[in-house]
Structure 1
Amino acid sequence: MDAYRKSAFVRTSVLVFAGLPLLLYGLGDFPERSFLKESLSVVTILGFFPMIGLFFWSRANAVAVSGLKMHRTITVHKAAGYTCAAIMLLHPLFPVVPRFFESGVASGDALVTILATFKPGVVLGILAWCLLLVLGITAFTRHRLPMTYRTWRRCHGILAVVFITAAAWHAVDLGRHSNLSMSGLIILLATVGVGLFVGHTISSKSKGPRIDR
């Protein structure tokens, strides 16, 4: 545990993928809402941005591997991945939960209305949710899948790239908290994260085959 607390990379990650998004949200000029709605927005931010952070907390990031060592990097990746995936899989319910405590459209009707609205942002949100579910299931059942670890890792990375692209577009298009500064942060972090994965993949291919572990 001391290794995590003393790691400059871990402290920087917490600031970039939690502190900075929350700061931008707090400074944003958003209409005031109920405590429940604001709490759900904060939970969404703390679930979404670390999902982008998973690209940085992986073997693709030499800084993380150098500072934390591989086994600690993978431990953080798994813990953050499962936790944030659980949060984001519940995310479609967040806009409708407050309606249980408000008058007007019923929660179930509101959810159906949202899902039946075929706007690009909504469609991409549904796609991202489905991809996240596949990512979570295939990660949890990795040892039972009929493929080598290296093949699974490559597929996992490709799925993650498609997922974060759809999720980021969804957030920028429909996210209530996606003003100009927050959208810019999402695009910047997602682009750098995907770039890390692509660069690592190309580099690994150029080194030729190696034994899976």
Structure 2
Amino acid sequence: MERQFKTFSIVAAGAIFIGLPVLFYTMGDVPRRSAFKEALSVLTILAFMLMLGQFYLARSNVTLLALFKPQVIQRVHKYIAYTAIGFFLLHPFLIVLPRYFEAGVKPIDALITLLTTFDNLGVVLGLIAWGLMLVLGATAMFRMRMIKRFSIKYRNWRYFHGALTVGFVGVALWHSIELGRHTDMTLSALMIALAAAGVALLLRLYRDAIPLCTLKSVPTLKGAK
């Protein structure tokens, strides 16, 4: 029975975070471009969906913890997160990459224009999200060094990591809706719903943990009953 639940959870996750986005992409009423550009669009959508999936590979998802060992969940969380972050670090370059195969503006000129366009809300949001993601990836990769160097409790680092993740996802989601070519109403609604549910799980975990920490630090008055 436990094995069936594990299989069901994996299939359900694949259907929600991969199957539905691909389905909505194919059903979207958007003029198609070259196969290379469309492939980059699909990869970008899936990479972002996998980033949203990180909310559900955390300690806040008690259902998943009941099915899989924490070490396994953490390993999958790291692999997916680092892969998605690596892809998005290349995102600005992948946007202009197809211009190598087209006539017109040179890729480097297009990239410079992209990175210096501050009068476009979608572009500015993308630059902010890219910066937040860079900090998120670096602090996650070097978390043990940071904890030792600044004498930070691991629990407090988790709070920082969670807050930074929420900030990044919020800005990146806004950016994708503002500029995304394939993020129509249906796909946007799916992203917002998954992000909201994931943030709710995280906030519930922190809400349950913070009062316990606070109570432990309250001194007991002598003579109190």
Give TM-score scaled by structure 2 length: 0.87
- Mapped contact 1:7–1:67 kept (Cα < 8 A): no
Separation in 2 of the partners of 1:52 and 1:12? 15
Q: Residue 207 of structure 2 aligns to a residue in which SS?
A: helix
- Residue by residue, what CA displacement relative to the aligned partner does 1:73-100 show, whole Å, maximum 9, x if unpaired? 2121111111111111111112200000
Q: In the alignment, what sits opposite 2:42?
A: 42
The 5-angstrom pairing of residues 163-178 of structure 1 reads 163-178=168-183
Q: In the alignment, what sits opposite 1:131?
A: 132
Q: Does 1:198 align with 2:203?
A: yes
Separation in 2 of the partners of 1:192 and 1:136? 22
Task: Give the superposition deviation at 1:170.
Answer: 0.2
- Residue by residue, what CA displacement relative to the aligned partner does 1:126-147 show, whole Å, maximum 9, x if unpaired? 1111111111111111110122
Larger radius of gyration: 2
- Mapped contact 1:59–1:65 kept (Cα < 8 A): yes
- Residue by residue, what CA displacement relative to the aligned partner does 1:112-165 show, whole Å, maximum 9, x if unpaired? 222222222111111111111111111111110122211111110000000000
Q: In the alignment, what sits opposite 1:78?
A: 78
Q: Residue 12 of structure 1 aligns to a residue in which SS?
A: helix
Amino acid at match of 1:77: H
The 5-angstrom pairing of residues 30-179 of structure 1 reads 30-118=30-118, 119-145=120-146, 146=150, 147-179=152-184
- Residue by residue, what CA displacement relative to the aligned partner does 1:163-210 show, whole Å, maximum 9, x if unpaired? 000000000000011111011111111111111111111111123369
- Higher deviation after alignment, 85-94 or 65-74: 65-74
- Mapped contact 1:4–1:68 kept (Cα < 8 A): no
Q: In the alignment, what sits opposite 1:189?
A: 194
Separation in 1 of the partners of 2:7 and 2:211? 31
Q: In the alignment, what sits opposite 2:221?
A: none
CA RMSD of aligned residues (A): 1.9
- Mapped contact 1:7–1:68 kept (Cα < 8 A): no
Separation in 1 of the partners of 2:143 and 2:168? 18
Structure 1 unmatched ranges of 5 or more: none
- Mapped contact 1:5–1:11 kept (Cα < 8 A): no
Percent identity (aligned): 43
Provide the aligned length of Structure 1 versus Structure 2: 209
Separation in 2 of the partners of 1:209 and 1:42? 45
